[in-house]
Chains A and B, each alone.
Chain A
Amino acid sequence: MDLVQMQKSLQDYTKSLFLEGILDSQFLQLQQLQDESNPDFVSQVVTLFFQDSDRILNDLSLSLGQQVVDFKKVDPHVHQLKGSSSSIGAQRVKNACVVFRNFCEQQNVEACHRCLQQVKQEYYLVKNRLETLFKLEQQIVASGGMIPAVELGF
């Protein structure tokens, strides 16, 4: 695949993530912060998000797996994940967290288990997609090209 094709693929791929609602406009905010003085900003923030989220999801699995679930431990984790996913534009993760928090408030253990599964699903999806996105970008840069401008005319 030549450079132009790769750049087009990246653009189409990025657009699809927005169209599917996996990413929202907050992700564009991150891209606006990336410049010559901060060339890896997006991948840095996203990597931090992955690390933090992996830890949170692990803690959540542990907390919800207890005989007696302590919602005072569960809710702050979900709140944190909701905040960070919102900050990077991981829309579906954020939405799943909102639902999760409602059930935390109701102290509904069974529903929370389902919510955790849903959050994990959405998280692994966005993680997978963003990792693919970064790989595409790396391929372009390795071929001597620039990351193309993101144009969303819809």
Chain B
Amino acid sequence: MLTTSPIKLINGFVADPSNNTGQSEIVQVENGGYVDETKLETSSGHCPESAHQYENGNGRCFSKESESCSSSQASSEGGTLEMESELTVSSQREEEKAETNLKESSKPKILLVEDNKINIMVAKSMMKQLGHTMDIANNGVEAINAINRSSYDLVLMDVCMPVLDGLKATRLIRSYEESGNWNAAIEAGVDKEILENEQVCVRSTNRLPIIAMTANTLAESSEECYANGMDSFISKPVTLQKLRECLQQYLH
């Protein structure tokens, strides 16, 4: 679908009020995402299959590209961008350190869970233009390990992934939030040792916003996303506008 208004790219560069030279460090979650596959319920190992017919839900979705930016957009993004100083946490006790990280860390921690390299590259670049950095996980198991290790402010979760898909991973993360333990994940085959050895000391009591990135097929419908504990969804392909709206809504 082509836009009806002319787009001017000056030397391939769009003049954008939010443009900045934000940092672009990306942390790759490297743990191989080991899982006992005999325990996993995945059928094709990739997409969850659904035999149900779902009605179109009225979701809080970010798929409408025609929506105009709110006037608060520039100021909220400006506020995030101006906080550039990294606080050094040196010789503090572990609990204090974790608490400091949670309270005083000014840069929002975002986790992108996606297996497609091209999608990762595009999303990273979009986030960079919006002034944010992201950690990357390539499947649901890596996502769970990442969330266990660090406190995230937002998770962008691809639905269809190998090893452990986004819907299942989200269910397990919600179970962890409710119960305070990863028993459900361990039962589902996620490596017990990694979870138990690398647990973060202070867990945030706030609900982690998890946004689905869905191709909007039947198996990835908005209803399916909400049923599995997602807060909202972005329909693919991901655009700058969709990400911007998502950040506005879920990052404070």
Contact = CB atoms under 8 A, between A and B. Distances in A.
Interface of A: 18, 24-26, 28-39, 41-42, 44-45, 48-49, 52, 72, 75-76, 79-80, 82-84, 86-89, 146-147, 149-154
B45 A25 contact: no
Interface centre among B5, B6, B47, B121 (most CB of A within 10 A): B121
Given A29-B240, A31-B9, A76-B162, A24 B1 contact: yes
B45 A88 contact: no
Contacts of A82: 215
Contacts of B10: 149
Contacts of B128: 38
B45 A49 contact: no
Interface residues of B, number: 38
A101 B118 CA distance: 20
A79 B2 contact: no
B91 interface: no
B7 A146 contact: no
Contacts of A89: 237
Given A18-B2, A24-B2, A25-B2, A36 B13 contact: yes
B118 A49 contact: yes
Most A CB within 10 A of own CB, among B47, B128, B236, B237: B237
A33 B125 contact: yes
B103 interface: no
Which residue, of A26, A32, A76, A80, has the highest number of chain B Cβ atoms within 10 A? A32
A33 B116 contact: no
Nearest to A18: B2
30 contacts: A25-B2, A28-B3, A31-B12, A32-B129, A32-B240, A33-B122, A33-B125, A33-B129, A34-B12, A38-B128, A41-B125, A75-B44, A75-B46, A75-B47, A76-B44, A76-B46, A76-B162, A83-B116, A86-B236, A87-B118, A87-B119, A87-B237, A89-B237, A147-B11, A147-B12, A149-B11, A150-B7, A151-B8, A154-B2, A154-B4
A38 B125 contact: yes
A25 to B, nearest CB: 5
Interface string B190-221: 00000000000000000000000001000000
Pairs A-B, 6 closest by C-beta atoms: A84-B118, A35-B13, A34-B12, A153-B6, A33-B125, A32-B14
A52 B13 contact: no
A35 B21 CA distance: 11
B12 A152 contact: no
A88 B236 contact: no
